[in-house]
A and B are shown apart, each in its own frame.
Chain A
Amino acid sequence: MKALRFGRHAALAVVAAGALALTACGSDNATGTQNSAPASSGPKVTGTLTGVGATSQSAAMDAWKTGFSGANQGANVQYSPDGSGAGRKALLDGSAQFAGSDAYLKDDEYASSKAKCGPDGAINIPVYISPIAVAFNLPDVKELKLDADTLAKIFRGQITTWNDPAIAALNSGVTLPSLKITPVHRSDDSGTTTNFTQYLSAAASTVWTDKAGGLWPSSLKGENAKGTSGVVKTVTDTPGAIVYADDSAVSGKLGVASIKVGDTFVKPTADGAAKAVESGKAVAGRAQGDLSMTIDRKSTDATAYPLTLASYHIVCSTYKDQATVDLVKAFENYVVSDAGQQAASDAAKSAPLSKALQTKAQAAIAGIKVQG
């Protein structure tokens, strides 16, 4: 009797737990299969677009979502900032219709994108450009000139004081204090770190021998903090500290270094960043209209700022139904439009795309079509 009762209750509990587990597994992938708008690039679309991707685009994405839904009643965009890698994976397995990513698809990822996106695979469109500033906290110095080698040596701990001859040689006329340099980097995995280390390993290849990546090389000593706001706060509190950070986040008492490009020294600007992406080298072997760009970190063009982050939207070249195609086109067209870029610039202080890049992006978006 007792055993029987126990058995029954246990079974009940298992069923209940099972039901819970099932509800938890119930997928909530939203798909854009609502009323199909006219095939032409009609002004109004409806439906839900799902994206997954980089955290760097979060602020801009919020602005884009609001702007897009405002212009298209009944259309909305869901974006979950799970990280660049998660975004690319979600696009490749079909659970998201677009991905936000700090890096364009790798070659093998592009190859596997053909399974869900049709024979032409996925297209990478740069939508979010942001210059990375090298900011420092020196009480009496606001202007500083640095070249890639010196920068790499500072961040590797090979140059340890501000009045080091290597820095003084670049900054004649500036009185440098004999203060200890405290280089600060990001403690979390970050696209900013990826671009900074890419720059150093390209432009200062003899000094920066570590592989470029989102994580700071663990063999290097140095201070760090979480997130852009964390590193900027740490540097602001620490005289003698230096950091790389999104230019929009650097303000107040921090100075911003000019980086040597060719024979001149360039400060981070929106125009310089847009120029650097525009003049980047297109990645070979991609779909028609694809805008994967390798930024030329060793460029000698003084109008381009090489320490720039380009974040992409990755979309399929073909989708299964017209409704999704219309929705993706409408959204991406809004994102690369003047209004969309301005909204991102207001919300996240990113650099708007250059006109030439905008035209190319629009051409790429126009090529998205239904499968078959």
Chain B
Amino acid sequence: MTGSSASGRAGDKVFSGTAMGAGILILLVLFGVAAFLVVQAFPALVAKPADIQGGAGFWAYIAPIVIGTLIAAAIALVIATPVAIGVALFISHYAPRRLASGLGYVIDLLAAIPSVVYGAWGAAFLAPAIAPGYAWLAANLGWIPIFAGPASATGKAILTAAIVLAVMILPIITSLSREIFLQTPKLHEEAALALGATRWEMVRMAVLPFGRPGIISAVMLGLGRALGETMAVALVLSSGALTASLIQSGNQTIAAEIALNFPEASGVQVNTLIAAGLVLFVITLAVNMVARWIITKHKEFSGAN
């Protein structure tokens, strides 16, 4: 007895020590990355404007690609979120059990595809296939600024990149939302049904309010991936100056800009690209903080407590 409790105490100590060590290590790594970014970015922030690519200083260089990054991620979210929630609801509440587990498995498989494969698919298949659609949009809806012509002849516009991104973040949002929906208290659902609610009303009144913080964090995780996605955008997007039209070539994202230019960069250009990385780091940090804030604010509605 005493022996086992003594070894239990030792095991407890070892475990708490390693767990704390891991916790501290992750903080150190994060701090190390942040320090590296700041130190390496500094020369670009203080460099003469003429030395920065484009010749108009760092902020003039970074502003268009920050906006490009946000545009691509936002469109991806707009496309992916409703689809993902629909799929998650279908799996959790509508599909027959056997179909649901199969479908869930397939969705998870989507998440396992490497981003370079998505990129290759987008560049080689989706872009040429979607180009006639862009030409049609430009001809018929060209009066809306985001569909202004001339449409990209190759189809490699920011809308294509955003569609690829949407497909990539779909599995993340879907699987997280599905898990949340499945955790809705059975009593809530049955109570709603007992009060005469239809299935849709039950979903609206019991499942969605319960899952709201979960959906938000799933969407934010998806947004994080969309903001940082590099290879797929680098392969799909025909980058260029900032343009309002989504179907012309143009725009650029931070991650793709770094990936494309880093291999042959030298001198202050390296610092500029690292500074761009720092900006992306700050943006993702801000996104995560906002997400946390929203979740804590909505906690009382969730019914989880």
Contacts and interface: CB of A to CB of B under 8 A. Distances in A.
Contact of B249 (A13, A191, A221, A240): A221
A89 B266 contact: yes
Nearest to B129: A237
B264 A219 contact: no
Contacts of B250: 221
Interface in A213-227: 214-215, 218-219, 221-226
A182 B267 contact: no
A10 to B, nearest CB: 6
A224 B161 CA distance: 13
B239 interface: yes
A67 B262 CA distance: 30
Contact of B263 (A12, A188, A215): A188
B267 A85 contact: yes
B260 A188 contact: yes
B24 A14 contact: yes
Contacts of B154: 182, 184, 223, 234, 237-238, 241
A14 B131 CA distance: 55
A238 to B, nearest CB: 5
A215 B263 CA distance: 12
Given A16-B25, A17-B24, A223 B152 contact: yes
B234 interface: yes
Contact of B265 (A54, A83, A184): A83
B133 interface: no
Contact of A222 (B249, B263, B265): B249
A281 interface: no
A12 B266 contact: no
A189 interface: yes
A139 interface: no
Nearest to B240: A221
B21 A224 contact: no
A366 interface: no
Contact of B260 (A17, A55, A180, A189): A189
A159 B53 CA distance: 27
A160 to B, nearest CB: 9
A210 to B, nearest CB: 11
Contacts of A44: none
B206 interface: no
A219 B54 CA distance: 9
B61 to A, nearest CB: 9
Contact of A234 (B16, B150, B156): B156
A164 interface: no
Interface string A55-90: 100000000000000000000000001111110110
A164 to B, nearest CB: 16
Q: Which of A89, A184, A223, A234 has the most CB of B within 10 A?
A: A223
B153 interface: yes
A89 B124 CA distance: 37
B130 to A, nearest CB: 12
A17 B25 contact: yes
Contacts of A189: 260-261, 263-265
Interface string A227-242: 0001001100110110
Interface string B13-41: 00011001100110010001000000000
B82 interface: no
B156 A225 contact: yes
Contacts of A12: 17, 21
Nearest to B28: A17
B128 interface: yes
B89 interface: no
B241 interface: yes
Given A187-B238, A238-B128, A86 B156 contact: no
B20 A9 contact: yes
Interface in A1-26: 6, 9-10, 12-14, 16-17, 21
Interface string B223-241: 0000000000011011111
B91 interface: no
Contacts of B20: 6, 9-10, 13
A215 B269 CA distance: 11
Contacts of A222: 238, 240, 249
B180 interface: no
B75 to A, nearest CB: 20
A190 interface: yes
A223 B249 contact: yes
B242 to A, nearest CB: 10
A211 to B, nearest CB: 9
B123 interface: yes
Given A13-B24, A17-B24, A17-B28, A85 B238 contact: no
A363 B17 CA distance: 65
Interface of A: 6, 9-10, 12-14, 16-17, 21, 54-55, 81-86, 88-89, 180, 182, 184, 187-191, 214-215, 218-219, 221-226, 230, 233-234, 237-238, 240-241
Interface of B: 16-17, 20-21, 24-25, 28, 32, 53-54, 123-124, 127-128, 131, 150, 152-154, 156, 234-235, 237-241, 248-250, 260-267, 269
Closest 6 CB pairs of A and B: A85-B266, A189-B264, A13-B21, A188-B260, A83-B264, A182-B153
21 contacts: A9-B21, A16-B25, A55-B263, A55-B264, A83-B264, A83-B266, A85-B264, A180-B150, A184-B154, A188-B264, A189-B265, A215-B261, A221-B250, A222-B249, A225-B238, A230-B123, A230-B235, A237-B124, A238-B131, A238-B153, A241-B154
Given A14-B24, A16-B25, A180-B150, 18 more contacts: A9-B21, A12-B21, A13-B20, A17-B25, A55-B264, A82-B263, A83-B264, A83-B265, A86-B266, A188-B260, A189-B261, A221-B240, A221-B250, A222-B249, A223-B154, A238-B128, A238-B154, A241-B154
